């Protein structure tokens, strides 16, 4: 069974000198485990391929690791995005059947982001873009960013919306008051990342993005960032209130795709499956932050039939990303 994973991360020297400096600092402070993580992020060659082979992963769609470029001002974001995209293009050229790319964009400058999206799609054959959450506190429902969304729809490529830390005011209001390590984890991978991303998707819907760009497709990870559990409850806001063309649940089933990215939890998967259907679910491992081998083992034991497992493992990604 062919396998394609969609949330697989890398880092570049320019990124580690800028927004990813904390990753490099942690590698220096916290020893072998953090150093190994940094090594895996920076490797887009034979070692990564060997790890993929050992885990049974045929293709990774590569994306610049969080926090990406979204917390930078425009000029710095443009330089780092271009360096990152050029690095991925080299890897894809070297291993065209093993790697594909999601573009990093200087989202703070929508016109530059549009130009970079077009460059990476047309010159490099990238399959979409990854945006790491809010842009210095501004969300993509802000019409300032709509040129990027418009061009993604026109190019028929998805945007992967990845978690980032909530804005500082949200962290202070909702996640402070504990030990620093607890507050950091609560605002991040323990809870806040996922709620932040779910709110971002809801803002896109309520902001009318999908009524304006009905063919636009968004991808979110972590089995839906909590959205499937709340999907039907969101329709307590009726169309007469929202002024949308459809109920909120419609957009979550028609404009959003969902990946695993480390959430190897059968009950969570079953909820997602029941709410959105098998054609909206795609495999991912969240390398190197989570185990590719564990993700593949979880995929193998999914309580679905063989045909549905094939869709999740590779078929849905092939269709969305035009990988066939």
Query: Cβ contacts of residue 219 below 8 Å, gap of 6+?
Result: 6, 128, 158, 159, 160, 161, 256, 257, 258, 259, 282, 320
Q: What is the pLDDT of residues 216-272, one digit of tens each?
A: 999 999 999 999 999 999 999 999 999 999 999 999 999 999 999 999 999 999 999
Q: What is the pLDDT along the chain (324 residues), one digit of tens a residue?
A: 999 999 999 999 999 999 988 887 776 666 778 889 999 999 999 999 999 999 999 999 999 999 999 999 999 999 999 999 999 999 999 999 999 999 999 999 999 999 999 999 999 999 999 999 999 999 999 999 999 999 999 999 999 999 999 999 999 999 999 999 999 999 999 999 999 999 999 999 999 999 999 999 999 999 999 999 999 999 999 999 999 999 999 999 999 999 999 999 999 999 999 999 999 999 999 999 999 999 999 999 999 999 999 999 999 999 999 997
Catalytic residues: 286
Mode of pairing for the β-strands spanning 103-104 and 99-101: unpaired
pTM score, whole prediction? 0.96
Q: Could you state, in order of their start, the residue ranges of all structural domains in the chain?
A: 4-321
**Alpha-carbon distance values, 317 to 31, 41, 201, 298 (Å):** 36, 23, 20, 18
Distance CA 19, CA 76 (A): 10
Distance CA 69, CA 296 (A): 30
Distance CA 155, CA 80 (A): 23
pLDDT at 29: 67
pLDDT at 25: 78
Distance CA 74, CA 101 (A): 22
Residue 33 in contact with residue 288, Cβ under 8 Å?
no
Distance CA 217, CA 211 (A): 12
pLDDT at 28: 65
CATH 1.10.274.10, domain 4-321, yes or no: no
Distance CA 12, CA 80 (A): 9
Q: What is the pLDDT of residues 97-127, one digit of tens each?
A: 999 999 999 999 999 999 999 999 999 999 9
């Amino acid at each position: 069974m062919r396998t394609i994973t969609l949330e697989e991360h890398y880092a570049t020297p320019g990124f580690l000198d800028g927004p990813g400096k904390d990753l490099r600092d942690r590698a220096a402070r916290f020893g072998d485990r953090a150093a190994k993580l940094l090594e895996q992020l920076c490797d887009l060659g034979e070692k990564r391929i060997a790890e993929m082979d050992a885990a049974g992963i045929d293709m990774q769609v590569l994306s610049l690791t969080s926090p990406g470029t979204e917390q930078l001002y425009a000029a710095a974001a443009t330089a780092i995005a271009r360096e990152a995209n050029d690095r991925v293009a080299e890897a894809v050229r070297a291993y065209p059947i093993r790697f594909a790319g999601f573009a990093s964009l200087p989202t703070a400058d929508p016109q530059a982001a549009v130009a970079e999206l077009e460059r990476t799609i047309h010159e490099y054959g990238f399959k979409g873009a990854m945006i790491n959450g809010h842009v210095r506190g501004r969300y993509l429902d802000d019409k300032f960013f709509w040129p990027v969304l418009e061009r993604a729809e026109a190019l028929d490529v998805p945007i992967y919306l990845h978690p980032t830390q909530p804005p500082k005011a949200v962290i202070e209001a909702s996640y402070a008051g504990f030990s620093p390590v607890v507050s950091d984890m609560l605002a991040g991978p323990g809870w806040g990342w996922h709620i932040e991303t779910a709110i971002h998707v809801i803002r896109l819907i309520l902001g009318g993005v999908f009524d304006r760009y009905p063919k636009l497709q968004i991808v979110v990870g972590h089995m839906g960032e909590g959205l499937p559990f709340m999907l039907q409850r969101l329709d307590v806001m009726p169309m007469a209130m929202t002024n949308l063309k459809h109920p909120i649940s419609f957009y979550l089933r028609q404009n959003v795709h969902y990946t695993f990215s480390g959430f190897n939890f059968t009950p969570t998967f079953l909820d997602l499956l029941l709410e959105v259907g098998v054609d909206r679910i795609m495999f991912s491992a969240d390398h190197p932050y989570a185990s590719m081998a564990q993700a593949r083992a979880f995929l193998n034991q999914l309580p679905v039939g063989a045909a549905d497992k094939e869709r999740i493992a590779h078929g849905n990604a092939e269709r969305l990303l035009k990988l066939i």
